[in-house]
């Protein structure tokens, strides 16, 4: 009997906690969100019509991101360079994969340039 009462109290407590969490989350709806790439709408990579130049630039950014992600300087740093390098590495890698088939994926081109610029921003 005591166990049943505790079980119902625990369930009621979880329900109350879940409701309170939803109420707090609802308060965040009107909070302005910051853009990762404040000035970027469409990247220079996506606007460049010369696919050879785009490939070269994507490979350069990808190589720099790989080097930063593997560097102990940034792995042990309190700055988020490693995080943005890892994101840039993936986005640029996917963009390059599409470019090898002569397909320009604007989403990954934008992400590649954005994440790479964020990485560089935190390096300085």
pLDDT for the residue numbered 1: 55
Angle at 88 between CA 86 and CA 90, to 5 degrees: 70
From first CA to last CA, the distance across the chain in angstroms is: 65
Residues shown for the chain: 124
pLDDT for the residue numbered 43: 86
Closest to 117 (Cα-Cα) out of 43, 26, 24: 43
SS3 at position 71: coil
Give the pair of three-digit tokens for residue 5: 């009462």
45-94 pLDDT per residue, tens: 889 999 999 999 999 999 999 999 999 999 889 999 999 999 999 999 99
Residue 41 confidence (pLDDT) above 70: no
pLDDT for the residue numbered 28: 47
| Conformational region of residue 102, where left means phi above 0, alpha means psi within -120 to 50, and beta covers everything else | left
Say which residues have a Cβ less than 8 Å from residue 61's Cβ, sequence separation at least 6: 88, 92, 112, 113, 116
Residue 27 confidence (pLDDT) above 70: no
Give pTM, 2 decimals.
0.68
């Amino acid at each position: 009997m005591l166990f049943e009462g505790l079980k119902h109290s625990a369930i009621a407590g979880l329900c109350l906690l879940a409701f309170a969490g939803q109420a707090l989350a609802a308060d965040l709806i009107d909070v302005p969100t910051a853009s990762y790439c404040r000035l970027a709408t469409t990247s220079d990579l996506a606007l460049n019509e010369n696919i050879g130049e785009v490939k070269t630039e994507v490979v350069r950014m990808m190589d720099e991101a790989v080097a930063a992600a593997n560097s102990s300087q940034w792995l042990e740093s309190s700055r988020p360079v490693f995080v943005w390098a890892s994101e840039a590495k993936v986005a640029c890698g996917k963009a390059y994969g599409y470019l090898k088939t002569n397909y320009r994926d604007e989403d990954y081109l934008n992400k590649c340039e954005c994440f790479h610029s964020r990485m560089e921003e935190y390096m300085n």
